[in-house]
Chains A and B, each alone.
Chain A
Amino acid sequence: MNIHEYQARDLLRRHDLPVPPQVVASTPEEAANAAREFDTPVVVKAQVHAGGRGKAGGVKLAQSVDDARARAEEILGMQIKGLDVRRVLVAPAVDIAREVYVGITLDRAAARPVLMLCAEGGVDIEEVARLTPEKIVRTHLDPVRGLQPFAARAASFQVFSEGRAALGLARVCLRLAAAFAALDATLVEINPLVVTTAGDILAIDAKINLDDNALTRHPKLESLRDLDAEDARERKARARGLSYIHLDGDVACVVNGAGLAMATMDLIQHYGGSPANFLDIGGSSNPEKVTTALEIIQSDPNVRAILFNIFGGITRCDDVAQGLLTVIETSPPRVPLVVRLIGTNEERAREMLAGAKLETASGMDEVVQKAIAAARSAGEAS
């Protein structure tokens, strides 16, 4: 789960990291009041789940209260990477002497977290990793003990030669590692961490990604989810136990299992179609999941055909067939259905669907090709 910068700053402050004060404003007037409270200059920053906010014009320096109001008004009306900016963060501007990058993420290949430091702050770290990987100081955390103080010092002295700054950085690294573990994060990042002209260390930007699998043991963190920032269909799917991701095509697919769902999308493209979604109805699927899946899919106006590709294991084909029959009876789909059910109880499913208003297919290639053809003729008819 992604959270906003202001939420990440809040969490890091609670883990004793040096985060300057901030106010979150959703109107220009609130931003002006915040600027009055802090003394100017202040920074006004868009709060959206997207990188590159600065380049998009979503981060502005304001020299006065009026200026803060005007900048906030501009930013609050913006879209960044297609996302509406609903809030801005207002914080006092700081005099920066140096800035560095500090982050901890999971290194999948090494099966442990890794601390990354870079002597240049405010950078796109993925870009640096690709172009000049030697500029990143990488230190793996011990899988059981976490980041050990000696390892934090060794890494910090590679970034700052001067003792006070290096030890200050090491302290930040240790607290960040503690936050990473306590929050069950998959990424914690301060970019940049700055040393002010007065020699203080401050975290002036923060990013945290949380492990979705761990949210059940952190119920308070679940409340940080910004429902407005999510696609309404994806939100509804998650609430009903489905995994759905919206895409731009016109051939929708309902599949059980993530790998088969991806392969089905790929096959739609392979045969010249364009997938409308990723949708995994999961293992022990009941008829209601099928009806929900069809509701969600049909709320996408681009969809011109829907295919079912179900390989029954735990999922029973007769359950899926029952769901299909219910939908056809109660709210007939507005687009053609092409169905392939195979595996557990497939014969029973076939009997149930005989005579139903849908097309069937036996192979995966066949169901995809038939659905693409159905979408095309629907497109020509409209």
Chain B
Amino acid sequence: MSILLDAKTRVLVQGITGRDGSFHTQQMIAYDTRVVGGVTPGKGGQSVHDVPIFDTVASAARETDANASVVYVPPLVAADAICEAVVAGIQLVVCITEGIPVQDMVRTLPLVHAHNARLVGPNCPGVITPGAGKIGILPGNICTPGDVGVVSRSGTLTYEVVYELTRSGIGQSTCIGIGGDPLIGTRFIDVLQLFEEDPGTRAVVLIGEIGGTDEEEAAEFIASKMSKPVVAFIAGRTAPPGRRMGHAGAIVSGGSGTAAAKVEAFQAAGVEVAETPSGVVECMRSKLSIQ
């Protein structure tokens, strides 16, 4: 079992002829993901890596019966790509693109909700269900199937933790990067809810960072709604206030969004917070053996 993505998910690639779109289409196919079509306006009728290309998401969805899409288009047109997908009836849209203006996302999120679709990202590495498939850029070779769910705001830090989990023999149900932007479609609490309901997930690793209050919200959710153990890690304890730490959303502003506040919120909710990335694995190992 898993969340969001399984072996039956049928994926479209928006921006399939671009450098990143084309490369990662190949990687997704190599991981046995069912990539059923691609979209690049003006290149309909051609194909890339034997995947048929369509001019619009609507025509691609009609012809291929796709139920998910991944967006690799440039930042200034990415919000439009998300809207195109949800209007065409795609239920899961994963947006990898980094650098989308935040006000574009303000206007886009209500449309996603109105169509009852789920957006993961933007500015995220995507979703992988080890052994079943992947949508996005997470490297498949570091994962192994298992029953620990992983949810994170970052990319390579997620790889680091997943790699260590795998090396310690702790497999993953699904790993999901929700994105480093200030406005994202799927937040920690949404994913925690899915993991809580997923019979294939026994425990959860949550990797947060400075900026915003999503971790505090998650702590409250875990305390009141979750039965499964969660181990948390927060990046950015040494980040200077007022500075954006690479991710558009990773900023301590006006004393809010600090790592200390997030750690405190988790501890108050009874959630163990690891001091280091390798500590996450140790905490998880002890949780799993106690259970």
Contact = CB atoms under 8 A, between A and B. Distances in A.
Interface of A: 106, 108-109, 111-113, 126, 129-130, 143-144, 181, 184, 186, 211-214, 216-217, 243, 245, 247, 255-263, 265-270, 275, 278, 280, 311, 313-314, 342-344, 363-365
Most chain A beta carbons < 10 A, residue from B75, B156, B245? B156
B160 A263 contact: yes
A245 B255 contact: no
Nearest to B239: A262
Interface string B248-265: 111000110001000000
Contacts of B103: 113, 181, 184, 211, 214
Interface in B149-188: 152-160, 163, 180, 182-183
Contacts of B228: none
Contacts of B157: 257, 259-260, 262-263
Contact of A270 (B153, B213, B275): B275
Given A186-B102, A278-B246, A109 B212 contact: yes
B191 to A, nearest CB: 16
Interface stretch (B31-39, B55-63, B86-94, B106-114): B106-114
Contacts, number: 156
B99 A259 contact: no
B207 A214 contact: no
B203 interface: no
A113 B182 CA distance: 12
A127 to B, nearest CB: 9
Nearest to A255: B156
B246 A243 contact: yes
B139 A344 contact: yes
A258 to B, nearest CB: 3
Contacts of B213: 108-109
A259 B101 contact: no
Contacts of A259: 152-158, 180, 207, 209, 235, 246-247, 250
A211 B182 CA distance: 11
The 10 A-B pairs at the shortest CB distance, nearest first, are namely A259-B154, A258-B246, A257-B156, A259-B157, A126-B254, A214-B101, A262-B235, A260-B156, A260-B157, A280-B246
Interface residues of B, number: 60
Contacts of A260: 154-157, 159-160
B239 A343 contact: no
Interface of B: 20, 75-76, 99-103, 105-107, 109-110, 125, 137-139, 142, 152-160, 163, 180, 182-183, 207, 209-210, 212-214, 217, 233, 235-240, 243-250, 254-255, 259, 275-278
Contacts of B142: 343
Nearest to A342: B163
B276 A267 contact: yes
A261 B157 CA distance: 8
B106 A143 contact: yes
Contacts of B152: 259
Contacts of A186: 102
18 contacts: A111-B105, A113-B103, A113-B106, A213-B248, A256-B156, A258-B250, A259-B235, A262-B236, A262-B245, A263-B160, A265-B238, A267-B276, A268-B238, A278-B239, A278-B243, A363-B278, A364-B276, A365-B278
A213 B181 CA distance: 11
Contacts of B236: 262, 266
A365 B279 CA distance: 10
Most chain A beta carbons < 10 A, residue from B153, B233, B276? B276
A314 B106 contact: no
Contacts of A181: 103
B65 to A, nearest CB: 30
Given A247-B240, A258-B245, A270-B276, A130 B255 contact: yes
Contacts of B259: 266
A132 to B, nearest CB: 15
Contact of B248 (A109, A212, A270, A278): A212
Most chain B beta carbons < 10 A, residue from A144, A267, A270, A365? A267
A255 B154 CA distance: 13
Most chain B beta carbons < 10 A, residue from A259, A266, A278, A314? A259
A262 B275 contact: no
Given A217-B76, A266-B236, A314-B20, 18 more contacts: A111-B106, A126-B254, A143-B106, A143-B110, A211-B102, A216-B76, A217-B101, A247-B238, A259-B155, A259-B250, A260-B155, A262-B157, A262-B209, A262-B210, A275-B238, A343-B139, A364-B278, A365-B278
A111 B100 CA distance: 15
B107 to A, nearest CB: 6
Given A258-B250, A343-B139, A269 B159 contact: no
A263 B277 contact: yes
